Amino acid sequence: MNRFSKPDLLKRIFNGSTLSVLVFVVVIAAFILGITMVSESSLTDDRTLLEKAITRDIVHCYAVEGVYPPSLSYIESRYGLTYDHSKYLVSYESIGSNIMPSVMIIEK
């Protein structure tokens, strides 16, 4: 190729520096997408773990005391349940001392 001929359009667009910038942008976009998917999965796992912890403490209380706990604060004070109150709203409805309470967890 001499200096007076024009290079191919594709060669001008995809020269070494342009191609490396394009690959870099694609890798960064894939990384950000991956982090977003992992964080959404983590939130779901946190909610599931909280639900399992509450159920475990309810059953433990029933096994030890012979009655289901009357409130969520009772479980927190006596069985050490902790969770992020600013992140989750927990609805705890105790129907009676011998009927398992209804628990619903809502993300704020």
Q: Which two tokens stand for residue 82?
A: 């902790």
Q: What own/partner pairs with CB < 8 Å and gap ≥ 24 does 40-46 have? A: 43/107, 46/87
Q: What is the percent of the chain with per-residue pLDDT over 90, rounded to a whole number?
A: 55
Greater confidence (15 vs 81) lies with 81
> In this predicted structure, what is the pLDDT of residue 13?
64
DSSP state, residue 102: E
Residues 15-64: tens digit of each pLDDT: 667 777 888 899 999 999 988 887 777 767 888 899 999 999 999 999 99
Cα 52 to Cα 59: distance, rounded to the nearest angstrom = 11
| Domain locations along the chain | 9-107
Say yes or no to pLDDT of 83 above 70.
Answer: yes
pTM score > 0.75 for this model? no
What is the predicted pLDDT for the residue at 21?
Answer: 81
Q: How much is the pLDDT for 11?
A: 66
